[in-house]
Amino acid sequence: MADVWLGSHTLRSHGAKVARIHLHDWLILILLVIIDGLLNLIEPFHRFVGQGMMTDLSYPFKPNTVPVWAVPILAGVLPVAIFSVYYYYRKDVYDLHHAILGLLFSLLATGVITDAIKDAVGRPRPNFFWRCFPDGKAAFDPVTYDVICHGDAHIIKEGYKSFPSGHSSWSFAGLTFLAWYMSGKLRVFDRRGHVAKLCIVLIPVLIAILVGISRVDDYWHHWTDVFAGALIGTIVAAFCYLQFFPYPYETEGWAPHAFFEMLAERTRVQSSGRTNSIRMGEMTDIETAFMAGDPERVCNPEQR
């Protein structure tokens, strides 16, 4: 089955049709982008930070080992590149479109969930002290005993967004989706015991784990922030993948649901065509002539 329709559903032949069918899904993606942008503009909840809490919030304010711009490349560009390589050999626009659409849903839904929780929780980062007091001179309100920050407003704002880790949630959302995708394509769970396939599939997961570890090493997040972000990204990726693809361990786990729906529709059309051919064979000459749109052949039987 995997090679029957090879090269018959390309971007040129079926791309517009597939995109048109899922137009509303792409519109929802745009809505998710807008929502996530608004969540980043909102001022997060400023959780109380007393002097006695500074012990766990006074770690060095270091630069990111994995920059913010690198996360979309690892979680988005890398998977899309692998999807494109598979399309180059398979020529299946259903697989390419649904893989990209599912990946984007995984990333953007994870982003909205993560940023919404960040704003609502307002947990200080481990390096909050140096964000709040860049000169090292702490100041607290004499009545509430809460911090009185005198650092850069944007840096302070980001200092209240520790839980959950956005780097971790995005990395796990994109790379776990890629791991599911590769599992189906490589038929990892075909019960033949090829451990090498499993090792290949675990590479994206390992990259996501290393990104999460870097957040703790850089003192931008507590370990619980990373764990929560990884959990959110993994769960959302699983839901989004299964929305478009079967379980990787299933016999048809190598292609999206839409591919098999298309095959079923084509089979129904062909079966209907064969039925019509049989009926045409049973028609009289007059019926056949009218079906062909040539009534003169009916009026002049000698022409037949």
Residue 117 and residue 114: Cα distance in Å, rounded? 5
Percentage with pLDDT > 90 across the chain: 65
Give the residue numbers annotated as catalytic, written as ranges. Answer: 167, 221
Mean of pLDDT values over 222-237: 98
Query: Among 78-82, 121-125, 185-189, 292-296, which stretch is predicted with the lowest mean pLDDT?
Result: 292-296
Q: Would the pLDDT of 187 be above 70?
A: yes
Residue 77 DSSP code? I
Residue with more model confidence, 254 or 128: 128
Question: Which of 67, 211, 64, 68 has its CA nearest to residue 127?
Answer: 64
Q: Would the pLDDT of 40 be above 60?
A: yes
Residue 114 and residue 168: Cα distance in Å, rounded? 10
Per-residue pLDDT band at 21 (split at 50, 70, 90)? confident
For CA atoms 80, 81, 86, 92, the dihedral sign is positive
How distant, in Å, are the alpha carbons of 12, 41, 160, 289 from that of 118?
42, 12, 8, 73
At 263 the pLDDT is: 73
Q: Which tokens hold the place of 157?
A: 């704002």
Burial of 27 (0-12, 13-18, 19+ CB in 10 A): exposed
Q: Would the pLDDT of 205 be above 90?
A: yes
Phi, psi of 209, deg, nearest 5: -65, -45
Residue 153 and residue 155: Cα distance in Å, rounded? 6
Q: How crowded is the C-beta side of 274, counted as CA atoms within 13 Å? A: 5
Phi, psi of 3, deg, nearest 5: -110, 0
For 304, other C-beta atoms within 10 Å of its C-beta total: 10
* Rounded to 5°, angle at Cα 29 from 26 and 31: 115
Mean pLDDT of the chain: 85
Q: Would the pLDDT of 183 be above 60?
A: yes
Alpha-carbon dihedral 184, 187, 193, 196, rounded to 10 degrees: -80
For CA atoms 181, 186, 190, 191, the dihedral sign is negative
How distant, in Å, are the alpha carbons of 72, 161, 183, 193, 235 from that of 210?
15, 21, 21, 27, 18
Residue positions counted in the chain: 304
Alpha-carbon dihedral 51, 56, 59, 64, rounded to 10 degrees: -120
At 101 the pLDDT is: 95
